[in-house]
Amino acid sequence: MAALPALLVMGVSGSGKSTVGAQLASELGWRFYDADDYHPEENRVKMGKGIPLNDQDRIPWLCNLHDILLRDVTSGQHVILACSALKKVYRDILIRGKNGAPPKCDEPGKEGKPTEVQLLVVYLSGSFEVISGRLLKRKGHFMPPELLQSQFDILEPPSAPENFIQISVDKSLPEMIAIIMEALK
Ligand SMILES: Nc1ncnc2c1ncn2[C@@H]1O[C@H](COP(=O)(O)OP(=O)(O)O)[C@@H](O)[C@H]1O
Ligand SMILES: O=C(O)[C@H](O)[C@@H](O)[C@H](O)[C@H](O)COP(=O)(O)O
């Protein structure tokens, strides 16, 4: 197990992952990754056409993110990832890479090296009405609001024994940051 935990901010599109993750990283001085920036072009084009991604589209993307997280935490870098990570199996891939699911990640680390990322999951939960309202106002993003229902359809909120906290999207950004800071103590 890697020594440092990585922080995953997850939830459906528009739940505030990027906003919360970036603000937290700025306050803590941790490295921030937005999973949106790591989608291959095909995935962006697909979402842009209003077609939801499927497991085949997401698995290589998640494996790549696992590799990035593992590299950082094993080198002592604190890291925050904003990523939808809607299903339990997706979070398992972020933790274990290809061992968390069907093929397509890099080889696991050599003997003695950690191959798992310890994750603290921050789940941003909210109603369809509130989140779709925010998406309709958001400008300059490739994700069409019409895809939101498909995200709620497959969402598997984290549950024990996952290491997680849940925060309502109805809270203000400073309130959310304060709750996460408290959880990190
Ligand atoms: N706590 C909050 N309260 C009100 N609006 C928020 C909050 N967090 C984010 N937003 C707004 O909601 C929209 C979606 O946030 P964003 O961070 O892009 O979500 P995601 O990364 O999950 O898609 C943005 O316009 C953002 O400014
Ligand atoms: O797994 C997926 O279907 C995508 O990752 C999706 O969940 C993600 O939400 C988009 O990349 C849009 O980006 P935002 O979440 O920032 O709206």
CATH of residue 45's domain is 3.40.50.300
What are the two backbone dihedrals, phi and then psi, of residue 84, each rounded to the nearest 5 degrees?
A: -55, -50
Q: What is the 3-state secondary structure (H, E, C) of 44-76?
A: HHHHHCCCCCCHHHHHHHHHHHHHHHHHHHHCC
How sure is the predictor about 103, in pLDDT bands with cuts at 50, 70 and 90?
A: very low
Regarding pTM above 0.80, the answer is: yes
The binding-site residues of ligand 1, defined as CB within 6 angstroms of any ligand atom, are: 11, 13-19, 82, 134, 138, 172-173, 176
Do residues 17 and 11 make contact, with C-beta atoms less than 8 angstroms apart? yes
By most ligand atoms within 8 Å of CB, the mutation choice from 84, 94, 134 for ligand 2 is 84
Domains: count for the chain: 1
Q: Is the CB of 13 under 6 A from ligand 2?
A: yes
Atom 14 of ligand 2: nearest residue by CA position: 13
| Pairwise CA distance, residues 98 & 141, whole Å | 30
Q: What is the pLDDT of residue 106?
A: 55
Atom 3 of ligand 1: nearest residue by CA position: 172
Q: What is the 3-state secondary structure (H, E, C) of the chain?
A: CCCCEEEEEECCCCCCHHHHHHHHHHHHCCEEEEHHHHCCHHHHHHHHCCCCCCHHHHHHHHHHHHHHHHHHHHCCCCEEEECCCCCHHHHHHHHHHHHHCCCCCCCCCCCCCCCCCEEEEEEEECCHHHHHHHHHHCCCCCCCHHHHHHHHHHCCCCCCCCCEEEEECCCCHHHHHHHHHHHHC
Q: What is the pLDDT of residues 105-161, one digit of tens each?
A: 555 545 556 789 999 999 999 999 999 999 999 888 877 888 999 999 999 999 999
The domain in which residue 57 lies consists of: 5-184
